[in-house]
Amino acid sequence: MNFLLKEFYDVFTDNGREVRAFFSPGRVNLIGEHTDYNGGYVFPVGLNVGTTVLIRKRDDKKVLLYATDIKKVVEASLDDLESYKDIEWGNYQLGVIHELLKAGYNVGGCEMLFCDTVPHGAGLSSSAAIECATGIAVYSMFNDKPIDKVELAFIGQRAENKYIGVNCGIMDQFASSMARKDHGLFLNTMTMEYKYVPLNLGDYRILISNTNKKRGLADSKYNERRSQCEEGLQALKKALDVKCLGEVSVEEFEKHKYLIEDDIVRKRVEHVVYEDERVLSSIDVLEKGDLKSFGRLMTQSHESLRDLYEVTGVELDTLVEEALKIEGVLGSRMTGAGFGGCTVTIIHRANIEEFKTKVGENYTRKTGLKADFYVFEVGDGVREINL
C-alpha cells in the first residue's frame, strides 16, 4: 500500500490530512446465469482482486478523481453532478456520489485515487467494484455510523441504472458489497433473501478463462432474451399466479409449458426454470461438501446456456470443451452475459499448469484467439483496509 500512498501524494500533495483506504472485490457467478432479471437465484463469490480507493477530505465542494492506470485527474463539483454523466472516465464514481446525496447522506469535497486489479472486459464486474468502493469510501468519510452494506449495493445499482443508464440487475453490486471469504453468496433476486454457503475447496481452485473476444452481440441479445422471458412469463400467467419466472417450479413449468406456443421462447423459459433448480441443488450439495456434484451442475448449466438460452458461442464452448478434457477438472461453464467474456472452472491445483498449456494451445488453434487464465481466491466484500 505504500506505493499507492506515494502516488496519492505525488498527485494531490501531502497537506497533513488523514488518508484512508477502502477495498471492494470483483465477483464471479459460479452458477445461476440469466436468472437475476427473472427474479431467480444466483450464487456469486467475491474475488481477491478488485478496486482499492484512497480518499482524503477537502474544504470545498470539489471531487477530484485519479486512476493509477489512466494517469489523469478528473475534477467535478458537488453542486452540478448531473452534468458529468457522459464523461469518459469517472462517471461511475460520480454517479454513486450523486446517489448518496439523493439518499440524504452527508457528502463533502474529497480527493480519491483508484487502483483496479480486476481484469477489464472480462465480465468480473469491475464496475460494481468501483461503485461499492466509491460508496463506502465517501460515506465513511462524512458519516459517523457504518453504512448498511445491502443499502450500499442498491446505491451502486441505482447509480448504474439512473446515472450511467445501464439496466443491470442487483447481483454484481450485492456480491461486491456482501461477499464473504471462503463462502458463496446464495441470493434470491426477487425477495433479496440471502445466505452464505461454505465453499470448502480444499485442494481445488477457481480458475477463470478469458476468451478475449469482443462482445459485440451481448447488449442486443441480452435485451432480446429479456423480452423473450417476459413473453414466456405472460403465457404462463394464464394458468399460474406468479410475478416472475423465478417463482415457477420445474413441475409447474412442465405442466403448463404448452401455453408457450413459440418454441424458442419455451426454450428460454426452460433454461431459467431449470437453472434455478440447479442453483438450489448446488446449495444442497455444497452444504454436504460434495464438490464433484457441484462441478457436474456447473457443466449442466453451461449446456443449458448453450442449447436452450443460446448465449455461448464458439469461443466459450471451446474453452469449456477443452477444460473438461483436463484431469482434475470437476466442472466448467460460461459466466456472465455470454457471447464472449469468461468461463469459470473448478480444478485441482495440481492440474492448473497443464490446463493453462493444453487449453490455451487448443483454444488458439480452434479460434485464432489467445485466452488469459486467472486463479483467484474467494475473498471478503467491501471494507476499510489499513494503509
The Cα–Cα gap between 137 and 210 comes to 30
Mean pLDDT for 312-333 is 98
Percent of the chain at pLDDT exceeding 70: 98
pLDDT score at 118: 86
Closest Cα to residue 242, out of 276, 284, 195, 280?
276
223-243: burial string, b at 16+ Cβ within 10 Å, e else: eebeebbbbbbebbeeebeee
pTM over 0.85: yes
Write the CB contacts of 353 (distance below 8 Å, at least 6 apart in sequence): none
pLDDT, tens digit, for every residue of 6-30? 999 999 988 889 999 999 999 999 9
What is the structure's pLDDT at 218? 60
Q: How many whole angstroms separate alpha carbon 321 and alpha carbon 123?
A: 20
**Higher-confidence residue: 177 or 214?**
177
CA pair distance 286, 289, nearest whole angstrom? 5
SS3 306: helix
Q: What is the second-level CATH architecture of the domain 2-198?
A: 2-Layer Sandwich (3.30)
Taking 80 as the threshold, does the pLDDT of residue 123 lie above it?
Answer: no
* Cα separation, 96 vs 162, whole angstroms: 10
Alpha carbon distances (Å) from 275 to 200, 253, 378: 22, 13, 23
Residue with the bigger pLDDT between 214 and 184: it is: 184
DSSP conformation letters of 169-216: -SHHHHHHHH--TTEEEEEETTT--EEEEE---TTEEEEEEE-----T
Catalytic: 172? Answer: yes
Catalytic choice (36, 116, 172, 276): 172
DSSP string, 318-333: HHHHHHTTSTTEEEEE
Lookup: cell for 289 = 461438501
For residue range 50-86, what is the model confidence (pLDDT) as tens digits?
A: 999 999 999 999 999 999 999 999 999 999 999 999 9
φ, ψ at 190 (rounded to 5°):
-85, -45
In this predicted structure, the answer to whether residue 124 has a pLDDT above a threshold of 80 is: no
pLDDT digits (tens, 9 = 90+) for 214-238: 766 566 788 899 999 999 999 999 9
Per the listing, cell 479460434 goes with: 367
CA distance 130 to 176: 9
Q: What is the pLDDT of residues 108-121, one digit of tens each?
A: 999 999 999 987 76
Q: What's the pLDDT tens digit per position in 336-360?
A: 889 889 999 999 999 999 999 999 9
**Among 46, 15, 12, which residue's Cα sits nearest to residue 29?**
46
Give the C-alpha distances (Å, rounded to integers) separating 230 from 52, 272, 336.
Answer: 38, 12, 20
pLDDT of residue 167: 79
H-run or E-run covering 385: strand 383-385
Q: Residue ranges per domain, the chain? A: 2-198
Please report which confidence band the pLDDT of residue 160 belongs to, taking 50, 70 and 90 as the band edges: very high
Is the confidence at residue 126, as pLDDT, over 90?
A: no
174/15 Cα distance (integer angstroms): 35
Mean pLDDT over residues 306-328, rounded? Answer: 97
Q: Is the pLDDT of residue 178 over 80?
A: yes
Cβ proximity of 95 and 142 under 8 Å: no
Q: pLDDT at residue 1 above 80?
A: no
Q: What's the confidence (pLDDT) of residue 217?
A: 57
**Whole-angstrom Cα distance, residue 109 to residue 160?**
22
DSSP 84-139: GTT-SSSHHHHHHHHHHHHTT-----EEEEEEE-SPTTSSS-HHHHHHHHHHHHHH
